[in-house]
A and B are shown apart, each in its own frame.
Chain A
Amino acid sequence: QKEVEQDPGPLSVPEGAIVSLNCTYSNSAFQYFMWYRQYSRKGPELLMYTYSSGNKEDGRFTAQVDKSSKYISLFIRDSQPSDSATYLCAMKAGGYNKLIFGAGTRLAVHP
């Protein structure tokens, strides 16, 4: 069993929809949680960064962390075709930069 589980999709939604992306994890030591967006043939781009449990909002993006359930989410409001990409969750226990990534969810937003 992988430390971080993420449904690879693909997920297809119409423009303007609310998108929900999720990851579950098994290591209770994880404290730092991230969401990256990766376009084809590009490196991952940091979208959201959260420490411990709680919510964080940045524009159309909201990240939620529920450590009691070992579950994290990313919500995208008013999705746009430019949001079409692979979304990767990542997390670490703390200390240095060994991130554990989910498999990534491919999202397609169609006009």
Chain B
Amino acid sequence: KAGVTQTPRYLIKTRGQQVTLSCSPISGHRSVSWYQQTPGQGLQFLFEYFSETQRNKGNFPGRFSGRQFSNSRSEMNVSTLELGDSALYLCASSLGGYTDEKLFFGSGTQLSVL
């Protein structure tokens, strides 16, 4: 069974640009979550989507947004990029239940903002 797939693997952008990251969950998984990982702040939760609806959100500015498609694939968008947005962006998928859920991560997209 294929794991969580994230594309692209690496991205270089300049300040002010916007970027879109893509995530394909494990087959049969309906929940997709996004996390940001930086050396200073560690892993932080961005948001979670289930059945094309955002059902949970972390403490990030509105420049960070996402969406989920009917096939459970998800995209994350960051507008007006800042230097501090340089990070590893990780996508994780799960079956989509409420409590007892195991979360499986992709390898991430490494974003560098210059």
The dominant DSSP class at the B interface is strand
Residues of B within 8 Å of A, CB-based: how many? 29
> Is B99 a contact partner of A98 (Cβ separation < 8 A)?
no
In the assembled complex, the Cα of A99 lies from the Cα of B106 at a distance in Å of: 15
Contact pattern, B 69-86, Cβ under 8 Å of A = 1, otherwise 0:
000000000000000000
Contact pattern, A 22-45, Cβ under 8 Å of B = 1, otherwise 0:
000000000010101000011111
Number of A-B contacts (CB under 8 A): 64
Contact pattern, A 92-111, Cβ under 8 Å of B = 1, otherwise 0:
00111111111110000000
**Which single residue of chain B is at the shortest CB-CB distance from A36?**
B105
> Is B90 a contact partner of A43 (Cβ separation < 8 A)?
yes
> Is B43 a contact partner of A43 (Cβ separation < 8 A)?
no
Residues of B contacting A103 with CB < 8 Å?
42
Residues of B contacting A17 with CB < 8 Å?
none
> Is A97 a contact partner of B56 (Cβ separation < 8 A)?
yes
Residues of B contacting A99 with CB < 8 Å?
35, 43, 45, 103
> Is A104 a contact partner of B42 (Cβ separation < 8 A)?
yes
Residue of B43, B92, B94, B110 contacting most chain A CB atoms (<10 Å) = B43
In the assembled complex, the Cα of A90 lies from the Cα of B102 at a distance in Å of: 11
Residues of A contacting B103 with CB < 8 Å?
34, 46, 97, 99
In the assembled complex, the Cα of A45 lies from the Cα of B102 at a distance in Å of: 11
A65: interface (CB < 8 Å): no
Residues of A within 8 Å of B, CB-based: how many? 24
The distance from the CB of B29 to the nearest CB of chain A, in whole angstroms, is 11
The distance from the CB of B111 to the nearest CB of chain A, in whole angstroms, is 14
The answer to whether residues A46 and B42 also contact, given A96-B55, A98-B58 and a CB cut-off of 8 A, is: no
The distance from the CB of A56 to the nearest CB of chain B, in whole angstroms, is 13
> Is A97 a contact partner of B106 (Cβ separation < 8 A)?
no
Residues of A near any B CB (own CB < 8 A): 32, 34, 36, 41-46, 49, 51, 88, 90, 94-104
